[in-house]
Amino acid sequence: MLAYSKTGPNMISYIYKLSLMGAIFNEMTKGCNMNFFISLAIAAVLLFANKPPAATVATVGGMDISQDELAFHIFGISQQMPEGGLTKDIIVQAIGRASEYKVIESVAKEKGYALTNEERSTIKQTLRSVDQAAVSNNQIYNARKTGDDYLRENTGVGKNRYKKLMEVSLIGGRMLEDLYGETEVADDEALARYEADIEMFNVASVRHILFTYEGAPGGEESGRAKEESEKLAHETVSRVKAGEDMARLVHELSDDPYLEEDGVYTFGPTDGYDPGFLGWTFAEGRKAGDVGVCESVYGYHVMRLEEFGALPFEEVKPYIVDTMKYDIVNNIIAEWKNEPRFALQIDEDAVASMIGSDS
């Protein structure tokens, strides 16, 4: 029986994507991910060097979007940042995220959402943790910085703005959680989505035996040349086709260290497996029982397709329903953003000043 899990969208991650407060809090208090600090420090320097940090870059529904707010949202797309620094496209993307954040804040307040005592406590604990992180870093680096200094250097905002962002994140997040929970998807709607996207639910179970070689990842101890591994793979295919127990051969011959399932992997066509591995498995006309050899970056694989087909609807129904509810919430947010009262106005001069005259 095919057994494969497609995890639905994580609504909490979706909510905190809006403000990045969850990621910021986790990374700042762990004190172990220097890439995080470097990326945010670069964003802060690029944004605020020789510029007033509270300068308005855009407005949405009469609400200002300041430069310091953008540091949070630029972090979310920092992987796209070229070596030369910020570009207009990146800043505009960040403004788009910040405007969505503002719209959600406004709607949440209109609907009567306000901080709970538990949420206020969470904010206080978070700010205390920031102060404690500053003390720890002072001891490590022989510095004398406050929690406010620490926040400004690593996020571009001080405690007051940070606190405000947390407040809006918790209120807006709770509203979206409620909206998601109230959204319903009928069984026939979910079935229609399943039938329309049936290929994305195709999975295959493949048993394989790996022959690696010197020069391939993990093949240093094999003592084999590439040509020898290829020869062994084709010889083993002949043995499997002749009726030898492939599960036994897996344990006798395979260089793959993960043998808990007797060499069986179950996956879909879009999963992150080697292209050669995927190409053989999902080749046109492939059917259960087929045996052959494929090459990957790891070496040569003796492959046998054990099972192939779409997962049953009932098995993937929770994923489909979650995805559709997620889409519905996204569409509702898009409708809010498209309301005339939330028209976005970008100050092109302010944007130009952020990226410099050479861009």
**Longest distance between any two alpha carbons in the chain, whole Å:** 77
The secondary element (H helix, E strand) that includes residue 292 is strand 291-296
Work out the pLDDT band at 272, boundaries 50, 70, 90.
confident
pTM of the model: 0.68
- Nearest partner of 69 among 84, 87, 57, 82, judged by Cα: 57
Please name the residues in contact with 106: beta carbons below 8 A apart, sequence gap of 6 or more: 61, 63, 342
Parallel/antiparallel/unpaired status of strands 56-60 and 264-267? unpaired
Q: In degrees rounded to 5, what are phi and psi of residue 251?
A: -75, -30
Angle at alpha carbon of residue 267, lines to 261 and 271, rounded to 5°: 135
Q: How many CB atoms lie under 10 A from the CB of residue 119?
A: 17
- Nearest partner of 148 among 159, 139, 137, judged by Cα: 159
Mean predicted confidence (pLDDT) in 71-82: 66
Higher-confidence residue of 257 and 79: namely 257
- Helix or strand or coil: residue 194? helix
Q: How many CB atoms lie under 10 A from the CB of residue 18?
A: 23
pLDDT averaged over every residue in the chain: 82
Higher-confidence residue of 165 and 23: namely 165
Work out the pLDDT band at 156, boundaries 50, 70, 90.
low
The secondary element (H helix, E strand) that includes residue 58 is strand 56-60
Work out the pLDDT band at 212, boundaries 50, 70, 90.
very high
Mean predicted confidence (pLDDT) in 219-243: 93
Q: At what angle do helices 246-253 and 226-241 cross, to 10 degrees?
A: 160
Q: How many H-runs (helices) and E-runs (strands) does the chain carry?
A: 14, 7
Mean predicted confidence (pLDDT) in 84-89: 75
CB 297 within 8 A of CB 217: yes
Higher-confidence residue of 9 and 232: namely 232
Distance CA 220, CA 165 (A): 51
Percent of the chain at pLDDT > 90 equals 54
CB 145 within 8 A of CB 137: yes
Each domain of the chain, given as residue ranges in start order, spans 11-182+327-355, 201-310
Work out the pLDDT band at 17, boundaries 50, 70, 90.
very low
Distance CA 65, CA 162 (A): 14
Mean predicted confidence (pLDDT) in 300-327: 94
- pLDDT above 70 for 3: no
Residue listed under structure tokens 């403004």: 95
Bridge partners (DSSP) listed for residue 267: 204
- pLDDT above 60 for 353: yes
**CATH for 201-310 (3.10.50.40, 3.40.50.720, 3.30.70.120, 3.20.20.70):** 3.10.50.40
